[in-house]
Structure 1
Amino acid sequence: MHTMPMTSPETKAADAPRGAETTDAFDEFMRAFEGFREANDERLAQIERRMSADTVTQDKADRLSRAMDEQERRLERLVLKGLRPPVGGASDGAMPEPSEHRSAFESYVRGGDENRIRRLEEKAMSGLAGQDGGFLVPPETETEIGRRLAAVSPIRSIASVRTVSSTVLRKPFAVNGAQTGWVGEADARPQTSAPQLSELSFPTMELYAMPAATAALLDDAAIDLDRWLGEEVEQAFATQEGAAFVTGDGVAKPKGFMTYPTVTEADWAWGKVGTVATGAAGGFLPGLGGDALIDLVYALKGSYRQNATFVMNRRTQSAVRKLKDADGNYLWAPPSVAGGRASLMGFPVVEAEAMPDIAAGAKAIAFGDFARFYLVVDRQGVRVLRDPYSAKPYVLFYTTKRVGGGVQDFDAAKLLAFTV
């Protein structure tokens, strides 16, 4: 006889409110969207009748758009919270058996005992710990930090991510493509010319965070250190790397895709990112915003388009929400489920706050297959240095990881430029 797995009353009590709160937040977001749509329809109707919208109607549409932003941020926080494991370890209530490395690391974090973890690293002959001291976190903690970053870092969530053990990843590519041809079964096979190879280099740079803990927190045996450290560093890491992946200059940080040379799509060449113009400086042409987005979508080759994503900041998305097609249908659609992504013309939308606002000459919207366009390089190992002296009575944890990034396929994404 098949029996259903039992869930403890405590787990049920904890999970039910969390799920109900997320559902309520999603319902409020959808109500805000309906209100915004009605107000924006009224605004557009006024523009058609008398070439301008009433100030009250415009303010109402803007206010409801801001309310949608707030509801969306609240929903994102609740969904992320729902992904976190409960305090104390596994979600089924069973505490996993800690590995030797994890047990030694916990002794170091809680009480500063370096002996066990130092012996482990000497035994493994680890070369990943830097000259500034500190010890590598156990694989469980590194996995937890990586999982959290994937959930909250916008570009990381859609880019390719590769883990390396060296400080630089070098990736060769063929400049002139592979040399191939068609031949019959009995035909001679002519010798192909040697491919011209070049090399992309992705150095990793040090990213750090410094969470602080009280002695009482470290003494509390119920605190899951993997979860605590992951929560403390996730926002610091995600904010810094998220900005660097977009606008980083490559000096002591990854090189962001917006800092590469750009060129109009008609003149595209390898090493540059193609752009499509809206036809108006600092905005969309009246009534033709959808046309500019269609041009952007179809500037991308079909092989890239099927997995493409729009990337823009929240203020740009607020402007795009108001666009309609020739049949009066909104181009932007809200997520269909809590935790899902909004879509624009059927393609998912990812918000990256480091993207520029709409302005004259700004390239405020990116569209492409980011898994093929941008590469994130993580050096294996996250290092923690315990510092109980600098901010007594608090204990600081200087946490570092090495991250790099850059464009790996310049044809896999295009930018929408708000220019004539």
Structure 2
Amino acid sequence: MTDLIKRLQERRANVWEQAKELLDAAEKRGGAWEGEEEQKYQRLNADLDAIDLRVKDMADAEQRAKDAEAAFAGLLAKPETAPVADKRDSELRRWARGEMRGVDIAAPSGVSFRDLTKGTATAGGNTVPTTFYGQLMAHLIEVSGVMMAGPTVLNTASGETIEVPVTTAHSSAALTAEAAAITESDPAFAKRTLGAYKYGVLLQASSELLSDTGVDLEGYLAMQAGRALGNAFGVHAVTGDGSSKPTGIVTSASTGKTGGTGVAGAFTADDLIDLYYSVIAPYRNSTSCGWMMRDATLAAARKLKDSQGQYLWQPSIQLGTPDTLLSKPVHTDPNVAAVATTAKSVIFGDFSAYFVRMAGGVRFERSDDYAFNSDLVTYRAIIRADGLTVDQTGALKVFAGAAT
């Protein structure tokens, strides 16, 4: 495993170097691609994404292996029971030898196998069982990146309103002449309120499907419900307007940089550098400071250079660690607006200033009675959550495309 990780790491660095060579060559020609250069560049970007996905899969597989090892340890600790001969099997053999005129076949228990015709049926092909891969392969989707960006998460047992006191202005001193009155300067305070908005999803499956399926369908439904809840909250965590829903990061963030005209909202390297320095140093130095944008926007940011000819984007040299833009980690979220005029397409700042409140955790419940007349098993998943940028003095800022 260690050798594989090293090879992936080396391959990722090599792919990025090839991509840089293509970008440099195109830049020398005034940004024009030649031949199949652009297609090759897109393939290299796809390779980078594929390597990142494989690394994530490896991390997930390692965690599953640990979980399986713990489960096996628990099973092996149980006392073993002696095997019991299958009476039905012996009766079938006696019937096949002609020693019995008939036999009753009970419904099979446990995992059953389907017959598969192999060759000709009369040659015994019908006796070949079908081998079934017992894990459901789920297609991948884009998910919310807010929770991965390092917000402050408040977990509470109940959903009563939480009021968070914050400062909106600090005291300031002034040079004062001898015997002159000292000017009063008091700090200013405000309150931010976090509630608990309910998100829910209902899933149903027939009892026959749950009984007969060869995969852990119930486990998949639990995962699917959790992902659906996370995605629903993720939309509001970015763009929610605070009206009977959470207030998103973009909603309360101030504009740190506005793009130039005539470029359909696109940004330049200088624009991102200006946005970076529009956030003051105490927030920039936070371990939760970073960037957030959608994948297509990140693809454009990867091509940008500073005045010294250095790429703003740098691939991570450590697997599992986010890539960086101006030395700050980059998080992607499909809910951030695409590059366009007036669109707020890039977020930068200290994401710990965004508070996520979770009331009561995630509830995943099963009911065999809700759809009793249809013999359907119903699953219900619920979370109660809210989100708000508590520090609104400039901890998070956005890049906005020009109006024209």
The TM-score range, normalised by the shorter chain, is 0.5 to 0.7
| 1:140 equivalent in structure 2 | none
Structure 1 residues 81 and 402, CA gap change in structure 2 (3 angstroms):
farther
1:314 aligns with 2:298: no
Structure 1 residues 413 and 92, CA gap change in structure 2 (3 angstroms):
farther
1:398 aligns with 2:380: yes
For residue 233 of structure 1, report the CA deviation from its aligned partner. Answer: 3.4
> Per the alignment, in what secondary structure is the counterpart of residue 316 of structure 1?
helix
For residue 352 of structure 1, report the CA deviation from its aligned partner. Answer: 1.1
What is the aligned length?
321
> Per the alignment, in what secondary structure is the counterpart of residue 358 of structure 1?
coil
| 1:155 equivalent in structure 2 | 146
| 2:238 equivalent in structure 1 | 246
> Per the alignment, in what secondary structure is the counterpart of residue 90 of structure 1?
helix
Of 79-88 and 339-348, more deviation after overlay is shown by 79-88
Kindly indicate whether the alpha-carbon contact (under 8 Å) linking 1:26 and 1:75 is maintained by their aligned counterparts in 2.
Answer: no
| 1:236 equivalent in structure 2 | 228
For residues 20 and 47 of structure 2, the distance between their equivalents in structure 1, rounded to whole angstroms, comes to 13
For residue 337 of structure 1, report the CA deviation from its aligned partner. Answer: 1.8
For residue 196 of structure 1, report the CA deviation from its aligned partner. Answer: 4.6
For residue 246 of structure 1, report the CA deviation from its aligned partner. Answer: 0.5
For residues 68 and 318 of structure 2, the distance between their equivalents in structure 1, rounded to whole angstroms, comes to 29
1:416 aligns with 2:399: yes
1:350 aligns with 2:331: yes
Task: Work out which of the residue numbers 305, 309, 321 in structure 2 matches 1:340.
Answer: 321
Larger radius of gyration, structure 1 or 2? Answer: 2
1:323 aligns with 2:311: no
Matches within 5 A, 1:41-80: 41-47=24-30, 52-54=32-34, 56-80=36-60
| 1:128 equivalent in structure 2 | none
For residues 4 and 375 of structure 2, the distance between their equivalents in structure 1, rounded to whole angstroms, comes to 37
| 1:264 equivalent in structure 2 | none
Matches within 5 A, 1:258-273: 258-260=250-252, 273=254
Structure 1 residues 327 and 315, CA gap change in structure 2 (3 angstroms):
same
| 1:299 equivalent in structure 2 | 278
For residues 338 and 218 of structure 1, the distance between their equivalents in structure 2, rounded to whole angstroms, comes to 41
> Per the alignment, in what secondary structure is the counterpart of residue 259 of structure 1?
helix
For residues 164 and 274 of structure 2, the distance between their equivalents in structure 1, rounded to whole angstroms, comes to 32
Task: Work out which of the residue numbers 341, 363, 367 in structure 2 matches 1:387.
Answer: 367
Deviations 1:60-118 (A, max 9, x none): 323432443344344334434434464557379357x9xxxxxxxxxxxxxxxxxxxxx
For residues 275 and 195 of structure 2, the distance between their equivalents in structure 1, rounded to whole angstroms, comes to 31
> Per the alignment, in what secondary structure is the counterpart of residue 233 of structure 1?
helix
Task: Work out which of the residue numbers 153, 158, 167 in structure 1 matches 2:160.
Answer: 167
Matches within 5 A, 1:96-245: 153-157=144-148, 158-164=150-156, 165-177=158-170, 196-210=188-202, 231-245=223-237
For residues 283 and 216 of structure 1, the distance between their equivalents in structure 2, rounded to whole angstroms, comes to 50
Kindly indicate whether the alpha-carbon contact (under 8 Å) linking 1:22 and 1:78 is maintained by their aligned counterparts in 2.
Answer: no
Q: Structure 2-normalised TM-score?
A: 0.67
Q: Match for 2:147: what amino acid?
A: R
Q: Match for 1:355: what amino acid?
A: V
> Per the alignment, in what secondary structure is the counterpart of residue 156 of structure 1?
helix
Q: Match for 1:253: what amino acid?
A: K
Of 24-33 and 320-329, more deviation after overlay is shown by 24-33
Structural RMSD (CA):
3.8
Q: Structure 1-normalised TM-score?
A: 0.65
| 2:351 equivalent in structure 1 | 370
Percent identical pairs in the alignment equals 25
Deviations 1:198-222 (A, max 9, x none): 32112211122345676786899x9
For residues 328 and 192 of structure 1, the distance between their equivalents in structure 2, rounded to whole angstroms, comes to 50
Query: Can you give the 5+ residue segments of structure 1 that lack an aligned partner in the other structure?
Result: 1-15, 98-151, 183-189, 261-271
For residue 382 of structure 1, report the CA deviation from its aligned partner. Answer: 3.1
For residues 222 and 208 of structure 2, the distance between their equivalents in structure 1, rounded to whole angstroms, comes to 18
Query: Can you give the 5+ residue segments of structure 2 that lack an aligned partner in the other structure?
Result: 78-142, 175-181
Kindly indicate whether the alpha-carbon contact (under 8 Å) linking 2:166 and 2:390 is maintained by their aligned counterparts in 1.
Answer: no
Kindly indicate whether the alpha-carbon contact (under 8 Å) linking 2:265 and 2:343 is maintained by their aligned counterparts in 1.
Answer: no
